[in-house]
Amino acid sequence: MSKEVNWQAECLKKGFEYVREPDDHYVIADPSEMVALLRDLLGVDVRTKEGDSYGVAVSELQEQIDGLVNTLHAQHAERDALLAERDAARMRVKELDLLFGRYLLAMKAAVIDADQRGDEEGMRWIYNSLEGPGELPAEEEMDAQAFFDREIKPINDAMAELFAALQGEQP
């Protein structure tokens, strides 16, 4: 398992000079001190075949670096997926907000038309708003209150569940 390391901070703590250029980063330090830092941070035995203390076991160090790079790539991919999901959710909320606004506007226009030209003209706004997306009630529905009571129950249940979930998110 790779250990996350803030190399710049660790090098600066040791008094090393950390140089950052557009396409490269490097550390200016005594090799034996750098070897000790690598050993402490990564747990890698950094000795050459001859056993001196300032060579680096490149293959072990490269494995550690590759693991860190792979972890970083995976985290970036996960972040990108979460950002895409967030953006899709935002668009869905915007769509629902616009639809809701559209239906409120149609109901307001219906009230104005009913006041000015009669109830039948006002109801035309409501009828057209429901007919367009195919939301008219079935022709066999005869009791408006019974229809409303039956259809509002799952909506109210879902709203109660939503509000309970939102309450749970609050500190």
DSSP 44-57: -----TT--TT---
Domain membership of residue 49 as a residue range: 7-74
User: Do the domain assignments include residue 118?
Assistant: no
Which regions in the chain score pLDDT beneath 70? Answer: 1-8, 11-12, 17-32, 34-35, 38-39, 42-62, 169-171
Q: What is the pLDDT of residue 2?
A: 45
Assigned domain for 1 exists = no
Residue 116 lies in a domain: no
**In degrees to the nearest 10, what's the CA dihedral of 86, 92, 96, 98?**
90
Distance between CA atoms of 72 and 81, rounded to whole angstroms? 14
- As for how many domains the chain has, the answer is 1
pLDDT in the model for residue 73: 87
Is residue 151 situated within a structural domain? Answer: no
The whole-number pLDDT of residue 171 equals 45
Q: Mind listing the pLDDT tens digit for each residue in 80-128?
A: 999 999 999 999 999 999 999 999 999 999 999 999 999 999 999 999 9
Residue 40 resides in a domain: yes
C-alpha to C-alpha distance for 21 and 19, rounded to whole angstroms = 7
Output the pLDDT for position 48: 47
pTM (two decimals): 0.51
User: Is residue 124 in a domain?
Assistant: no
